[in-house]
């Protein structure tokens, strides 16, 4: 019988794969922001049309996560996430065929249906593969993929669009997803079934109760809505997610409209805030995990980083008021750094608190609710002056952190009784 080939520290390879899927996810969705600067003129579309096309993606992204989380919990992380990556990659390539507001809305709606599976799948994978003391770091790694993807997009896509046409942006980004899918199917299995995982690493992964395999859900899925912790997560994300939607969707448009930055000069300026967001995801997750390893309680570590990060997001308010473009970008860079730090710890709290067998469903429900909030904020941004929308983006995160911390309470693993109420293990 051949000897089992062990891959050392396999869980961090898994985190790296989740980072890449998230990065590709964001490159795909960012393609519209840059391609629109070309096809918007070609098809005589204006700012309101851009908002309508963007909101179609967000509508799908709002509707689908509540289903995608359930699908991934039923099929398992490996098969479930594979389906969604295949779907969004195909939809991304198909967007190259758009020619009207309606067709772009339909194609972006299809993209949103697929991309909605990434975060529920990634959060479930983190819960399966990492003990509590490492989850914030793992969450920071995969979640920072959104920031790095948003960095890659302005550095790569404008050049691609100028040299090969705007349709090439959608074809190329969709192809990246199919390449990732091949690697994922070769490497990812549940820890207890993985052919290349050592017994020592499996024991390390399962050293806390939140990571232990569960026999099955003891409650009906709908009864999650009776859980106070779920409502804390919902409100926290409703108040914070729209801020990231705003920066990710509107930054290139804002720089073009208000600062006069054209497509040729866009790459570096638009990349900086997303680069700092990537650093923020690593910094926030690493800081929280470091504090836990140094003896801080999980509650104190997570809550401290959450609150400090939300306070830093106020930097977005002066971004629209400063006289220089460089100054505006610098303030936005601070705000996006802080948001990514905030998001990494919010995700970690979800994996700390909720049962693993319901992980994708919980995060899917939250993503659906927050997606509707993000869609509304995107439409609002199309109507309000930039000064007002930047001010809202600076204030909302502090409210989000306060509500989330208060309603979650002590960060500890819970099981749910048939009544839907939480029971601490």
Cα 89–Cα 95–Cα 100 angle in degrees, nearest 5: 160
Q: What is the C-alpha separation between 143 and 72, in angstroms, rounded?
A: 18
**pLDDT > 70: what percent of the chain?**
93
- The mean predicted confidence, pLDDT, of the chain is 85
Give, as one character, the DSSP assignment of residue 321.
T
| pLDDT tens column, 272-305 | 888 898 889 889 888 988 898 888 998 999 999 9
- pTM recorded for the entire structure: 0.71
What architecture is the 10-424 domain classified under in CATH?
Up-down Bundle (1.20)
| pLDDT tens column, 86-97 | 999 999 999 988
- For 424, phi then psi, to 5°, come to -70, 135
C-beta of residue 206 within 8 angstroms of C-beta of residue 212? yes
Q: Which residues pair with 416 in a beta bridge?
A: 422
Asked if the model's pLDDT at residue 363 lies above 90, the reply is: no
Give the list of residues 6+ apart from residue 61 with CB closer than 8 angstroms, or none.
112, 113, 115, 116, 367, 371, 374, 375
């Amino acid at each position: 019988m051949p000897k089992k080939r062990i891959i050392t520290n396999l869980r961090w390879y898994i985190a790296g794969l989740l980072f890449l899927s998230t990065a590709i996810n964001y490159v795909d969705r960012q393609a519209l922001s840059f391609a629109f600067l070309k096809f918007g003129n070609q098809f005589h579309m204006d700012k309101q049309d851009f908002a309508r096309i963007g909101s179609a993606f967000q509508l799908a992204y709002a509707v689908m996560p509540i289903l995608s989380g359930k699908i991934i919990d039923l099929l398992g992380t490996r098969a479930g996430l594979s389906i969604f990556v295949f779907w969004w990659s195909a939809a991304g390539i198909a967007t190259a065929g758009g020619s009207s507001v309606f067709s772009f809305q339909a194609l972006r709606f299809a993209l949103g249906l697929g991309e909605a599976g990434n975060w529920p799948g990634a959060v479930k994978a983190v819960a399966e593969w990492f003990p509590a003391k490492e989850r914030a770091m793992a969450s920071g790694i995969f979640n920072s993929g959104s920031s790095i993807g948003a960095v890659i997009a302005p550095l790569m896509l404008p050049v691609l669009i100028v040299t090969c046409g705007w349709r090439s942006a959608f074809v190329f980004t969709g192809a990246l997803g199919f390449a990732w899918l091949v690697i994922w199917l070769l490497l990812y299995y549940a820890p207890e079934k993985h052919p290349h995982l050592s017994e020592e690493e499996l024991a390390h992964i399962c050293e806390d109760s939140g990571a232990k395999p569960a026999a099955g859900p003891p409650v009906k899925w709908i009864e999650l809505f009776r859980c106070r912790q779920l409502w804390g997560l919902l409100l926290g994300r409703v108040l914070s997610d729209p801020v990231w939607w705003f920066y990710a969707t509107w930054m290139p448009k804002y720089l073009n409209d208000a600062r006069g930055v054209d497509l040729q000069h866009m790459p570096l300026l638009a990349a900086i805030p997303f680069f700092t967001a990537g650093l923020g995801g690593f910094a926030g997750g690493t800081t929280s995990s470091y504090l836990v390893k140094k003896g801080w309680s999980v509650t104190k570590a997570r809550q401290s980083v959450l609150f400090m990060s939300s306070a830093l997001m106020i930097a977005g308010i002066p971004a629209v008021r400063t006289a220089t473009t460089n100054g505006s970008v610098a303030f936005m860079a601070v705000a996006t750094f802080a948001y990514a730090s905030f998001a990494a710890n919010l995700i970690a709290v979800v994996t700390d608190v909720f049962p693993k067998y319901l992980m994708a469903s919980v995060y899917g429900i939250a993503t659906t609710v927050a997606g509707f909030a993000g869609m509304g904020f995107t439409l609002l941004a199309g109507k309000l002056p930039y000064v007002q929308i930047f001010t809202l983006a600076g204030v909302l995160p502090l409210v989000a952190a306060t509500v989330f911390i208060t309603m979650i309470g002590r960060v500890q693993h819970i099981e749910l009784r048939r009544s839907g109420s939480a029971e601490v293990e």
